[in-house]
A and B are shown apart, each in its own frame.
Chain A
Amino acid sequence: MDSAAAALLGMGLAAAGFAGAGVGIGYIFGKMIEAVARQPEAEARVGKYMWIGFALVEAIALYGLVIAFIIMGLRK
């Protein structure tokens, strides 16, 4: 295989890590809605941790993006 094609494939595979973050974010918001539906007065407390969790999960997806950028930098 051409090395340029391999680099493009690698970048695509790195981006595929976003699937995991999608599952994670869906889980976080789903559980948040579940928790608030059970106990509406806990919304403020739960919401704080939800946003922290959201940002942590989103950051993991972005590590994949960083790897894609690293591959792009190596390509030249």
Chain B
Amino acid sequence: MEESPLHPFELHNYIPMSLGGVDISINKAVVIMWVVVALVAVLMVMAGSARKLVPGKLQSMAEMMVDFIRGIIMDTIGKDGMRFFPLIATLFLFILFCNLIGLIPGSYTVTSQIVVTAVFACMVYGLSLVMGFLLHGVKFLGILVPPGTPAWLLPLMIPIELISQLARPISLAVRLFANMTAGHVILGVLFGLAISGGLLIGWLPFAFTIAMNGLEVGIAFIQAYIFTVLTCVYLGDAFHLHGHDEHAH
């Protein structure tokens, strides 16, 4: 049988460990996650420690990042959302660096594991539910009824809205996971073609991998951005039920 295209995504335990029946082994994904956390922390601490009025390269990068995330939050949630800034900035930076570090040959894309993205998505969606019920109480269930729905349509609309709500965490998780996996599978297939094609024709798929790598860098940014924006949109839905608030946008 041919080799599975998902073979590069398999994880092998470096140090097998288990805690009360739960597998907490150290594998490549865990190590890369530590690297990402260390990298983000060191970069941000370095950018923030020696602040100057005229920022250097690192400081202006960090300032642009903060401005960018603040813009997303202000556009989708509004001023109330700024208390979630640390969470959203952390999510954005972690996902972005995971995506980017995976593009280095020999490393591993942590976000191509659906466990990682599913945990993020469930956490974000759970947070939006908790915030909604805290802010609006039982009235938050009105999110299942779009404004202006006639009463006779309710038996139809509520199941539809319920499904669309439940699809949110799933689509959030699968989107990031599938984008990262698909990009690497395509690169793998192209490299396979380049090797099997030989010198005569193999340069063609090889040249295409360079373009694909460029696209993958773009996708890494876009997917981190989309995840952040959708996080903000879901949180914003919890803040402004049906978007009635005038400062929602």
Contacts and interface: CB of A to CB of B under 8 A. Distances in A.
A3 B181 CA distance: 27
A63 B178 CA distance: 7
Instruction: State the main secondary structure of chain A at its contact with B.
Output: helix
Instruction: State the main secondary structure of chain B at its contact with A.
Output: helix
Given A52-B229, A72-B4, A59 B178 contact: yes
A55 B6 contact: no
Contacts of B226: 51-52, 55-56
B233 to A, nearest CB: 9
Contacts of B223: 55
A27 interface: no
Contacts of A59: 171, 174-175, 178-179
A3 to B, nearest CB: 14
Interface string B211-230: 00000000000110110010
Contact of A63 (B174, B185, B225): B174
Contacts of A62: 174-175, 178-179, 182
Interface residues of A, number: 13
A66 interface: yes
A66 B9 CA distance: 14
Contacts of B174: 59, 62-63, 66
A62 B225 CA distance: 18
A54 interface: yes
A66 B179 CA distance: 10
Contacts of B181: 65, 69
B225 A51 contact: yes
Interface of A: 51-52, 54-56, 58-59, 62-63, 65-66, 69, 72
Which 9 A/B pairs are nearest by Cβ-Cβ distance? A62-B178, A59-B175, A55-B226, A62-B182, A66-B178, A55-B222, A65-B182, A51-B222, A62-B179
